[in-house]
Structure 1
Amino acid sequence: MTKRMIVPLLFGLLGAAILMSLGKWQLDRLAWKENILSQIDARIGDAPVALPETPDPEADKYMPVTVTGTFEPRGLRVLASRKIIGAGHRIITVLDVDGRQIMVDRGFLKNGDAPGAFPDGPVTVVGNLHWPDEISNFTPEPDIDGGLWFARQVPDMAATLNTEPVLIVARSITPADPAISPWPVDSSGIPNDHRSYAITWFSLAAIWLGMTGLLLWRIRRQQV
């Protein structure tokens, strides 16, 4: 090996080492994220408890609860789409629980379908407390007058419907509305892209080593 080849070799090895360390870091993050997701799934599936007096958006997120109350003829729709089924809306309805006004995400109603009449008496809702983070720079403003929203913005929806900023995403409602299918909380919507990031960094490291090898080969050819 000539002196002219030493610098490119060292540069290539250093660059590959940095890229591979970034890939290893992403694998560590993947293991951490999968552990977090398993904890979330375990909490979602716990036995439901009574609704807390003052639910906390951080401490009580995903808490399984059960409540019995009466649906109010007030609510809104959130534009949504489900695989295979197609476009529709999440149906958000106000539930009166012993004088407390909260919101229930009753589930998905397909476009063209009509919900059934509200039950005459009490309903029992089993679900999970949730404060979704669905807003992005591209989310349109809600059509408040038309009752159409494009993301579940719990504080804003609560202000519009004059309820507590509490949303229960139903797993089951008794009696049920056959037209509305529950769309319960799970961890599938939580981003976990660390595996693809790791593959990207390791691929870049391989390309970097390949380009380094090509450069060294060309230098060697020039010296022959």
Structure 2
Amino acid sequence: MRFTLSVIFSAVILAVLVSLGLWQVRRLAWKEAYLADLQARIAAAPVELPARPDPARDQYLPVEVSGTLSGEGLQVLASTRDAGAGYRIIRVLETDGGRRVMADLGFESIESHEKPRLTGPIRVIGNLHWPDEVDSWTPAPEPDKGLFFARDVPVLADALGTEPLLIVARATEPPVAGVQPLPVSTESIPNRHLEYVFTWFAFAFIWSVISFVMLRRIRLKRTRPQKGT
């Protein structure tokens, strides 16, 4: 009876572990397809700025906007792997259609900060973005210094007096000297499902070995002759 219960228990645990591994395989396929669709949307041909942008509908929408940089702006603390600490340069873009929106022109290192800012006519090609970067660890902004620690679009728009609309530049014409565009991409979206696949199947393999050893010992005890018989 003990051997039968042990077999059933081992089989149930193994089935659960294998099921979790197979579920992660399906999740991996879904996530890869989702990221591929998202990347295709990000890289699509740009369109005109929508009259009434909606964050749910227009997230990552590629746009092309011409206008004038007013000189107003702020910076958001950021870092890159190659350049280290610096700032995302956010500037007010007054469009040819009379709207005031924000343009994330890209990354500027601390060393090159405080150089004269570009003003005047510009064409921005990029993507609409409403980043979700604020959490309980995010420091409070310092608006008197024009320094922010997250791209919280409503907060930035309130500080600059613009629509709550952020265009993250892929390219600008003319280019902004000293500023490296940091376009929207799928690289920052985590996809750890392959890691989880290996984890669950590794657990299943380890459990199989443990179960085999345990069941073998139980079986040997059952078949071993008792002393005195």
1:221: Cα distance to partner?
4.4
Matched-pair contact (CA < 8 Å) for 2:124–2:171: yes
Give the residue type in structure 2 aligned to 1:111: I
Q: CA deviation at 1:25?
A: 0.8
The equivalent residue for 2:93 is 95
Structure 1's unaligned 5+ residue stretches are none
Question: Measured at CA, do residues 170 and 17 of structure 1 come closer, stay the same or move farther in structure 2, by a change above 3 Å?
Answer: same
Alignment of 1:18-33 (within 5 A): 18-33=16-31
Q: Deviations over 1:13-58 (max 9, x none)?
A: 1111111111111111111111111111111111111101111101
Inter-partner Cα distance in structure 2 for 1:81 and 1:114:
13
Number of residues paired by the alignment? 222
State the SS of the aligned residue for 2:155. Answer: helix
What's the counterpart of residue 194 of structure 2?
A: 195
Deviation at 1:199, TM superposition (A): 1.5
TM-score by length of 1: 0.93
Equivalent residue, structure 1, for 2:203:
204
Matched, 1:112 2:111: yes
In structure 2, the CA distance between the partners of 1:186 and 1:71, relative to structure 1 (3 Å rule), is same
Runs (5+) with no aligned partner, structure 2: 225-229
SS state at 2:145 partner? coil
Q: Based on CA coordinates, which of the two structures has the bigger radius of gyration?
A: 2
| 1:171-196 residue CA offsets vs partner (Å, 9 max, x unmatched) | 11111122000010111111211111
- Provide the TM-score with structure 2 as the length reference: 0.91
1:156 matched residue in structure 2: 155
Q: Which has the higher contact order (CA 8 A, sep 6+)?
A: 1
Aligned AA for 1:26?
Answer: Q
Task: Indicate conservation of the 8 Å contact 2:70/2:119, yes or no.
Answer: no
Find the aligned partners of 1:184 and 1:50 in 2 and give their Cα distance.
18
